[in-house]
Amino acid sequence: MILQVKDLIVNYGVINAVKGVNFNINEGEIVSLIGANGAGKTTILKTISGLLKPKSGKIIYEGKAIQQQKAPKLVKAGISQVPEGRHIFSGLSVMENLQMGAFLIKDHQKIKQNFSEVFERFPILKQRARQDAATLSGGEQQMLAMGRALMANPKLILLDEPSMGLAPIFINEIFDIIKEINKHGTTVLLIEQNAKKALSISDRGYVLSTGKVQLSGSGTDLLANKEVQKAYLGG
C-alpha cells in the first residue's frame, strides 16, 4: 500500500472542510475521489502534498506518517501534484516550466532523461519548447502541468481536475495520458468533475459529500451504482 489516509480532519479557519476521511491507495492503482464542489476533495489533495496541515488524523506514505512534512520534502519523496487550473508559469518557456519540475534533482543525466521521456509522451511540448507557456492552448497547458509533475520522478501523482475547461477533443487525450502514466508505474490519485470518465479508468473510487466518504467501491461498481448515477452521472 502506497498511501493511507486515516481519520483526516482539516479546517479552513472556522470551516471544517474535511471531517474524518479514511481511504487508501495500493501501489500501481488509479483511485478517484468524486463529489460535488465543496465536498473537500481539493483540500484532501493539498493536505497530502503538504500545502495544508490537518487538524488531526494521519497520512501514511510508504509506511511513514507525513502529515507534518513540508511540500518540497514530499516532492523529493515521490509525491507530485498537478493543481486545479494548471498554474503554469507564464513568462517562462515550456522548457523552463519543465525545468521547474526538476528543481530538486541534482543528477543532470537524470534530468536529461526525464526531458526525453516527457517529450516522448507529449510531442507537442517538444515542438513548443521555446514558446512562452502562456501562449499554449488549455489542453497543451494541461499537458505541460502534467509533464512538469513527471519531471520530479513521482511514485504517486495527484491530479486535480485535469479535464476542467478543456475542449472535448483534449479530454479523451488527457485520460489516455493518465492511463499511460499509470501503466508505466506511477500510482494516480485523481479528482475529476467528469465522474463518468474518472471512474471508467479507475481501479477504485471514493464518493465524498460534505467532507466525508459516503461510498466506496471499484470504478465499475460505482459507475453502476444508482445513487452515484443520480448524483454525479446524470442518470
C-alpha–C-alpha distance, residues 90 and 106, integer Å: 25
pLDDT exceeds 90 at position 138: no
What does the pLDDT read at residue 234?
65
What does the pLDDT read at residue 165?
84
C-alpha–C-alpha distance, residues 74 and 132, integer Å: 29
Other residues' Cβ atoms within 10 Å of the Cβ of residue 230: 10
C-alpha–C-alpha distance, residues 32 and 235, integer Å: 19
pLDDT exceeds 90 at position 160: yes
CA nearest to 205, candidates 14, 35, 12, 18: 35
CA nearest to 46, candidates 152, 125, 161: 161
CATH 3.40.50.300 at 27-51+78-232, yes or no = yes
> Whole-prediction pTM value?
0.91
Q: Where are the domains of the chain?
A: 27-51+78-232
**How much is the mean pLDDT over the chain?**
92
Which three cell numbers, joined as nine digits, stand for 84?
A: 486545479
Q: pLDDT tens digits, residue range 58-106? A: 999 999 999 999 999 999 999 999 988 778 899 999 999 999 999 888 8
